[in-house]
Amino acid sequence: MRRLELVGWTAVAIVLCVFAIPWFLWGDATTVAGLPLWLWWHVGWMGLASVVFWVFTQRAWGIGIETEGRSPQSTAGTDGDRP
Amino acid sequence: MTLTLQLGIIVGYLLLALAIGLFAYRLTDRTAEDFYLASRTFGTIVLLFTTFATLLSAFTFFAGPNIAYAQGPEWVLVMGLMDGIIFAILWYVIGYKQWLLGQSYGYVTLGEMLGDRFGSTWLRGLVAGVSLLWLFPYVMLQQVGAGTALEALTEGAVPYAVGAGLITAFMILYVVVAGMRGIAWTDTVQGAFMLVVTWVALLWLLAVIGGPGAATSALEAEAAHHLALGSDFYTVQWMLSTAITIGFGVAMFPQVNQRFFAAGSKTVLKRSFALWPILCVLLFVPSFLIGAWARGLDVTIPEGANVLPIVLAEYTPVWFAALVIAGAMAAMMSSSDSMLLSGSSYFTRDLYRPFVDRTISERREDLLARIGVVAFATAAFAASLWNPATLFELGDAAFSGFAQLALPVMVALYWRRTTRAGITAGIVASQLFYLSSLFLGFVPATYAGWSAGLVGMGLGLVVTVGVSFVTTPAADERRAIYFERLGAD
């Protein structure tokens, strides 16, 4: 279970990296409210990244690093992890 | 009059930084751990802003807007990805683990952490030596920047050597007196000051030229291709190579890496982590947009000059332009002061203590660390007067140089089977490869558009893993300490 969660968060991290630059707008010069559309995307994406990071700190902080069963948070919902 | 006002603002600013440092001095203990890490007590705001101000050097104010002016605003994306996302993820992956290890074992430097795990004083010295090799010229470049900026602002009334010397003297004073706590407090003020001053500059400029729509139209008339994402300069390979190498390099820069040890609690690390991307975008967007829009404005930028001060001089009052230069000084000093302190700690803890005098007392180490700061700063200042080409090139390449350390360190942190021979070979091979790509003509600097820095990182990873596979761990390696009983509670 914890392992699946780790894979999930790793995937989230990769997606956050990949789309910080809107590759699908490559060559596009559309401007919205005086700024290039691709810049708006980036600003929005960074805001989203902050929200995702915040959710991570609330739900999964310690994953992949803290030793299983040591931290109360990591075992709050998954008592089965305790040896 | 103008000159007096400009100098008044800058000297006033330097005195303020010094006053904060002196205030912090009253709270310091006379131990090396307090001098280097403020006894691991930072709260969210201080950790966030000290890392932020340390990370952003004069580059944000000078070179960054210059690139946006010459090549277009895509630079915002590169910086956003490298600092806002990649570095933030490393903040957790490397930073949180380092912090936990620091809490358990009292580590102060990266070399100490690795040397203890792999049972090797030589590895510890190697990491410190490699770090100092890249750090010293980078500090020198900051002094060159400070001297040049002051000389340009005062139109030669403050000669280069005097400007660089003045900044160096102030930094030595408050770093030696107050250590990490003083630095972090001045950084907090400096970081907040940079943010405010950049936004005021942007809004001021937009008010004069008639809003973002008008600014972008002017840019479109002058250089329409700057608005389209991507160009011959901003290729996919270049953007990714730059973002990845600098993002990883930042995490290995001693003054940034050492901050991973200094957080007061897990909550502090969590909060700073979540706020990080927003803080980055808040500074990068205004700073680089000024540079990008300047291209469409009616100002002439002489060859080799910095865009931002010229635009501000044209569109805002003298006092405000001087404030922004003070902001740039803030950026420069807040990076350099931390680099001096970290450089000194790498030297005393990882080179002097293990190789020269193992029995040194806490009090004496604290004294030696302060002497180290003075020596490091003075030597970098002397080098900045002479500015030799080799050092210039090393300083310029420092981020990629540090990036070479990142993957071997991450492998060691997360893979139990890493051996002493593996990590040592990984570090040596990637450093040698990257240095030869800089200095030996027959080693190419790019590989199908990807930078040598990025290729070197891959090499370091492969060599670390490969050599670890074929070697057995040395008897005195402590293989379990990165994996056992880790939890903050």
Mean confidence (pLDDT) of chain B: 87
Q: Of A60-64, B332-336, B434-438, B466-470, which gets the smallest average pLDDT?
A: B332-336
Q: Report CB contact under 8 Å: B277, A53.
A: yes
Q: Convert the pLDDT of each residue in A7-50 to its tens digit.
A: 999 999 999 999 999 999 998 888 898 899 999 999 999 999 99
Q: Report CB contact under 8 Å: A53, B266.
A: no
Q: What is the CA radius of gyration of chain A?
A: 18
Q: Report CB contact under 8 Å: B85, A39.
A: no
B 406-445 → A contacts, CB under 8 A: 414
Give me the pLDDT at residue B1, please.
56
- Region B233-252: mean pLDDT is 90
Q: Report CB contact under 8 Å: A34, B216.
A: yes
Give me the pLDDT at residue B22, please.
82
A 9-68 → B contacts, CB under 8 A: 13, 16-17, 20-23, 25-29, 31, 33-36, 38-39, 42-43, 46-47, 49-50, 53-54, 56-57, 61-62, 64-67
Give me the pLDDT at residue B114, please.
95
Q: Report CB contact under 8 Å: B285, A39.
A: yes
| Tally of CA atoms within 13 A in the half-sphere of B228 that contains its CB | 11
The tally of domains found in chain B comes to: 1
- Region B131-150: mean pLDDT is 86
The gap between the terminal CA atoms of chain B, to the nearest Å, is 59
Tell me the shortest Cα–Cα distance from B116 to chain A, in angstroms: 19
List A36's β-bridge partners, or say none: A31
Q: Report CB contact under 8 Å: A54, B274.
A: yes
Position B59 pLDDT exceeds 80: no
Measured between CB atoms, does A6 come within 8 Å of chain B? no
For B447, list phi and psi in degrees, rounded to 5: -130, 100
Question: Is residue B78 one of the residues assigned to a domain?
Answer: yes
Tell me the shortest Cα–Cα distance from B382 to chain A, in angstroms: 41
CATH code, B195 = 1.20.1730.10
Give me the pLDDT at residue A76, please.
38
Position B420 pLDDT exceeds 80: yes
Rounded Cα distance between B79 and A33, Å, is 23
Q: Where are the domains of chain A?
A: 26-60
Q: Report CB contact under 8 Å: A57, B227.
A: no
Tell me the shortest Cα–Cα distance from A11 to chain B, in angstroms: 12
Do the beta carbons of residue A54 and residue A43 sit within 8 Å?
A: no
Q: Report CB contact under 8 Å: B81, A20.
A: yes
Q: Which pLDDT band holds residue B489 (cuts at 50, 70, 90)?
A: low
B 283-322 → A contacts, CB under 8 A: 285, 289
User: Which of B151, B167, B194, B197 minimizes the C-alpha distance to B336?
Assistant: B167
Q: Which pLDDT band holds residue A74 (cuts at 50, 70, 90)?
A: very low
Q: In A, which residues are within 8 Å of B213 by CB distance?
A: 33-34
Question: Is residue B410 one of the residues assigned to a domain?
Answer: no
Question: Is residue B296 one of the residues assigned to a domain?
Answer: yes
Tell me the shortest Cα–Cα distance from B240 to chain A, in angstroms: 10
Rounded Cα distance between B222 and B226, Å, is 9
Q: Which pLDDT band holds residue B263 (cuts at 50, 70, 90)?
A: confident
Q: Which pLDDT band holds residue B228 (cuts at 50, 70, 90)?
A: confident
Give me the pLDDT at residue B463, please.
97
Chain A: residue nearest B215 by CA? A34
Best probe of the B interface among A6, A37, A50, by most B CBs < 10 A, is: A50
Chain B: residue nearest A65 by CA? B97
Tell me the shortest Cα–Cα distance from A21 to chain B, in angstroms: 6
Do the beta carbons of residue B9 and residue B323 sit within 8 Å?
A: yes
Q: Report CB contact under 8 Å: A27, B81.
A: no
Q: Which pLDDT band holds residue B8 (cuts at 50, 70, 90)?
A: confident
CB burial string B461-474: b at 16+ within 10 A, e below = bebbbebbeeeebe
User: Which of B188, B179, B193 minimizes the C-alpha distance to B44?
Assistant: B188
CB burial string B56-78: b at 16+ within 10 A, e below = bbbbbbbbbbbbbbbbbbbbbbb
Best probe of the B interface among A37, A46, A82, by most B CBs < 10 A, is: A46
Tell me the shortest Cα–Cα distance from B252 to chain A, in angstroms: 19
Q: Which run of H or of E encompasses B324?
A: helix B318-345
Chain A: residue nearest B211 by CA? A34
Q: In A, which residues are within 8 Å of B97 by CB distance?
A: 65
Do the beta carbons of residue B262 and residue B181 sit within 8 Å?
A: no
Tell me the shortest Cα–Cα distance from B281 to chain A, in angstroms: 7
Compute the count of residue pairs across chains A and B with CB atoms less than 8 Å apart.
123
Give me the pLDDT at residue B95, please.
93
Domain carrying residue B302: 2-388
Q: Report CB contact under 8 Å: B270, A17.
A: no
Burial of B280 per CB tally in 10 Å (0-12, 13-18, 19+): buried
Q: What is the DSSP string of B159-179?
A: -HHHHHHHHHHHHHHHHHHHH
Tell me the shortest Cα–Cα distance from B273 to chain A, in angstroms: 7
Rounded Cα distance between B252 and B277, Å, is 19
Question: Is residue B451 one of the residues assigned to a domain?
Answer: no
pLDDT over 70, % of chain B? 99
Name, in order, each residue with C-beta under 8 angstroms of B403's C-beta and a sequence gap of 6 or more: B244, B245, B246, B248, B249, B252, B453, B456, B457
Measured between CB atoms, does B203 come within 8 Å of chain A? no
Give me the pLDDT at residue A72, please.
43
What is the predicted ipTM?
0.89
Do the beta carbons of residue B78 and residue B238 sit within 8 Å?
A: no
Q: Which pLDDT band holds residue A79 (cuts at 50, 70, 90)?
A: very low
Do the beta carbons of residue B44 and residue B272 sit within 8 Å?
A: yes
Question: Is residue B452 one of the residues assigned to a domain?
Answer: no
pLDDT over 90, % of chain B? 31
Name, in order, each residue with C-beta under 8 angstroms of A13's C-beta and a sequence gap of 6 or more: B89
| 3-state secondary structure at position A28 | coil
